[in-house]
Chain A
Amino acid sequence: MSQLEQMYQQVIMDHARAVHGRGLKDPGLVSVGESFQVNPTCGDEVRMRVGLDGERIASVSWEGQGCSISQASVSVLHELVEGETLEEADRIIEAFRALMQAKGEGLDEEREDLLGDATAFVGVGKYPARIKCALLGWMALKDAIIQAGRDTDHD
């Protein structure tokens, strides 16, 4: 497998071709947060909406456009995070961030289990210019959770 194929693993290509969670939904919940993030170098953008049901992320939906890495990443994110508790989502977000900083090396078994399909993004870590593509949706997710009033709930 070439270095290029290591980055564009089949899981990523599949998600990029048929993304999950696209199309903003009205979660019908009290705590709804939204975040709009852009990659200023290429103009790629994502608008992420989350709906919280207490400590659980009941709804994740998004719209946007971008490269295969950014689109597949936000698609995988939707699969991983929707339905999870905020605490679990935090662990997943941090694991994905660690994967991006791992320079193409894997993570420990516990965090790879946590990431599931998202471990396919391991090869992206070898390409510093593409890490921000992969993180675009995740930054939007983190911000949307804050916007949904998580912090004020805890305060």
Chain B
Amino acid sequence: MLPDLRADFPLLTRTVRNGKPLVYLDSAATSQKPHVVLNAEAEFYQFHNAAVARGAHLIAEEATEAFASARADVAAFVNAETDEIVWTENATAGINTVANGMANASAGIGGTASARFRVGPGDEIVVTETEHHANLIPWQQLAARTGATLTWIPVDDDGRMILDDLASVVTERCKVLAFTHASNVTGIISDVAALVARARDVGALTLLDACQSTPHLPVDVKALGVDFLVMSAHKMLGPTGIGALWGRKELLDALPPSVFGGSTIKTVTMTETSWLDAPSRFEAGSQPVAQIVGFAAAVRYLSALGMDNVAAHERAIARILREGAAALPGVRLLGPVGNDPLENMLGLAAVVVDGVHAHDVGQVLDDAGIAVRVGHHCNQPLHRRFGVASSTRASAHVYNTEDDARAFVAALATVRTFFGVAA
């Protein structure tokens, strides 16, 4: 378990409606930021701000050093090599970098070096039914542009990927398999090993959406065995506007870029350009250096806590959230109900209250000072699979306490009475 960390997060000390203390349970949407992250950004601007990798002056050297060491910090956080980390605007941009790079390769850009990224008619792009829209739409569009076919691994009534007949979904025609490390709706942690093994059997590339795992679990890109992985700083106690794409170096060096501009090139003529190796080829134009420095401070903060400790802490909160919610009359917990899967669950609970819309549920919780997410959480297909349009999601992070989880359950218990639908 973690110590009480709330004093590290200035926003958590403020009050909300009617002066109530804030219970922030919306971290799967975005996390709050500790002083060390806020200070890192401010100090960069106050003392080290200059154009990176350009100037011949002291401040430029300091800015360039801060930029480079941040990349090393984020790489170390996921056990990657430093030059395998590409800065992206967010995880969405990271996925688009890969999907659009594959579209460019399919159009012949990159020549034979990028041939392994080509997809076309007869090829299959495979996702899962539990993906966030960000890990579905780029692949839908890649299929639409190239004539490849999009297929997906279905989920069962609890939202678990159905892996029994994986071989019939991930076939020899599969060129890329994109899937989430952990669901932002059910909290289920995916069986990465099984999916990677099958993808390797058929020679398919793999991309892991690690948005919901890197903030909460130990993540080791080498142990996972995937080819690409994306993460988003703002869910990891870091700033908004910055994320990272990790990829195997030989793949990143062959993938054509899809955003073009300065700092990405070896040589340019009026008609042709040759690209630098990764990561530079993907980092066109000025980079958000202060956010990158803040991102590095965030992963250092998480590393100091220990990701095993973070995971254990959030599992304890998950138990209260999930068991508490599931035990309430007229409340349906989306995803598995019961104790045994908690080892494979994130610290979140998405619920549907019988007879009360998610917006109305969220409003009652808000009135009690409890901040949650309402809606479909950018995951309409999974909600449709569950037969609902939307849900109310409470999601924890390092700063939450078991009392926060109890406050959620207690407020949730009042919802049906308020709307006059309790028996």
A-B contact pairs, 5 of them (CB 8 A): A2-B18, A4-B367, A42-B376, A42-B389, A44-B390
The chain A residues found within 8 Å of chain B, CB to CB, are 2-4, 7-8, 13, 17, 41-44, 65-69, 127, 130, 133
CB distance from A72 to the nearest CB of B (A): 11
> Is B376 touching A130 in the complex (CB atoms < 8 A)?
no
State whether the Cβ of B380 lies closer than 8 Å to any Cβ in chain A. Answer: yes
A3 to B376, CA, bound (A): 26
Cβ-defined contact, B374 with A42, below 8 A:
yes
Name the residue on A nearest B420 (C-beta).
A13
Contact B358 A67 (CB under 8 A): yes
Show the binding face of B for A, using Cβ within 8 Å: 17-18, 356-360, 363-364, 367, 374-376, 380, 383, 389-390, 418-420
Q: Beyond A42-B389, A43-B376, is A69–B367 a contact (Cβ under 8 Å)?
A: no
Q: Are B390 and A42 in contact (CB under 8 A)?
A: yes
Determine the chain B residues whose CB is within 8 A of the CB of A65 once the complex forms: 389
- The 4 A-B residue pairs with the shortest CB-CB distance in the complex, in nearest-first order: A67-B357, A67-B359, A43-B389, A42-B375
The reply to whether B383 and A43 form a contact with Cβ atoms under 8 Å apart is yes
State which of A17, A41, A43, A67 has its C-beta within 8 Å of the C-beta of B360: A67
Judging by beta carbons under 8 Å apart, are A68 and B390 in contact?
A: no
Interface contact B420-A133, CB-CB below 8 Å: no
Return chain B residues, CB-CB under 8 Å to A3: 17-18, 367
Nearest chain A CB to B381's CB is how many angstroms away?
11
Q: How far is the CB of A52 from chain B (nearest CB, A)?
A: 31
| B390 & A43 in contact (Cβ 8 Å cutoff) | yes
Query: Which chain B residue lies CB-closest to A42?
Result: B375
* A7 partner residues in chain B, CB cutoff 8 A: 363
Given A42-B375, A67-B359, A133-B359, 9 other A-B contacts at CB below 8 A? A4-B418, A8-B419, A42-B374, A43-B380, A67-B357, A67-B360, A68-B356, A127-B363, A130-B359
Point out the residues of chain B lying under 8 angstroms from A133, CB to CB. Answer: 359
Of B17, B359, B383, B390, the contact of A69 (CB 8 Å cutoff): B359
Which residue of B has the minimal Cβ distance to A17? B420
Residues of A within 8 A of B418 (CB): 4, 8
What residues on B are CB-neighbors of A69 within 8 Å? 359-360
Hey, which chain A residues are within 8 Å of B383, CB to CB?
43
Q: What's the least CB distance linking A5 to chain B, in Å?
A: 9
Q: How distant is the Cα of A13 from the Cα of B358 in the complex, in angstroms?
A: 16
Whether A4 pairs with B363 at a CB distance below 8 angstroms is yes
CB distance from A78 to the nearest CB of B (A): 19
With a cutoff of 8 Å between Cβ atoms, the chain B residues found around residue A66 in the complex are 357, 359
Nearest A residue to B359 via CB reads A67
Question: How many angstroms between the C-alpha atoms of A56 and B363 in the bound complex?
Answer: 38
> Given A17-B420, A69-B359, is A4 in contact with B376 using a C-beta cutoff of 8 Å?
no
| Nearest-CB residue, chain A, relative to B362 | A129
CB–CB B389/A4 < 8 A: no
In the bound assembly, the distance between CA atoms of A43 and B386 in angstroms comes to 14
Contacts of A42 in B (CB 8 A): 357-359, 374-376, 389-390
Whether B380 pairs with A68 at a CB distance below 8 angstroms is no
> Smallest CB–CB gap between B361 and chain A, Å?
9
Q: Write out the residue numbers on chain A whose beta carbons fall within 8 Å of the beta carbon of B419.
A: 8, 13, 68
Closest to A133 in B: B359
Tell me how far the C-beta of A65 lies from the nearest C-beta in chain B, rounded to whole angstroms: 7
Q: Is the CB of A2 within 8 A of B389?
A: no
Chain A residue numbers with a CB within 8 Å of B420 are 13, 17
Among A4, A17, A43, contact of B364 (Cβ-Cβ < 8 Å): A4
For B17, the chain A residues whose CB sits under 8 A away are 3
When distances are taken between beta carbons in the complex, the residues of chain A under 8 Å from B376 are 41-43
Q: What is the bound-complex CA distance between A4 and B411, given in angstroms?
A: 13
Alpha-carbon distance A3/B363, docked complex (angstroms)? 11
Rounded to whole Å, the gap between the CB of B366 and the closest CB of chain A is 8
In the complex, the chain B residue whose C-beta lies closest to that of A127 is B363
CB-CB under 8 A from B356, the residues of chain A are 68
Contact B367–A2 (Cβ < 8 Å):
yes
Contacting residues, chain A, for B389 (C-beta < 8 A): 42-44, 65
What is the CB-to-nearest-CB distance from A11 to chain B, in angstroms, rounded to a whole number? 14
Measured CA separation A55–B304 after assembly (Å): 71
Report chain A residues within 8 Å CB of B360. Answer: 8, 67-69
CA distance A43 to B18 in the complex (A): 30
CA distance A133 to B375 in the complex (A): 12
Q: Please measure, in the bound complex, the distance between the C-alpha atom of A69 and the C-alpha atom of B357, giving whole angstroms.
A: 10
For B376, give the chain A residue with the smallest CB separation.
Answer: A43
Distance, CA A68 to CA B356, complexed state (A): 8
A41 to B284, CA, bound (A): 32
Complex interface: chain A residues within 8 A of B364 (CB): 4
Taking CB atoms, residues of chain A closer than 8 Å to B357 are 42, 44, 66-68
Taken together as a complex, chains A and B put the C-alpha atoms of A28 and B390 apart, in Å, by 36
Q: How near does chain A come to B20, taking the closest CB pair, in angstroms? A: 11
Chain B residues with Cβ under 8 A from A4's Cβ? 363-364, 367, 418
Q: Which residues of B contact A41 (CB under 8 A)?
A: 375-376
Contact indicator A130/B363 (Cβ below 8 Å): yes
A132: min CB distance to chain B, Å: 10
**A43→B375 contact, CB < 8 A:** yes
> In this complex, which of B356, B359, B420 has the most chain A Cβ atoms within 10 angstroms of its Cβ?
B359
A34 CA / B408 CA spacing, docked (Å): 41
Output the nearest chain B residue to A7 by Cβ-Cβ distance.
Answer: B363
Measured CB to CB, the nearest residue on chain B to A65 is B389
**Separation of A75 and B53 alpha carbons in the complex (Å):** 61
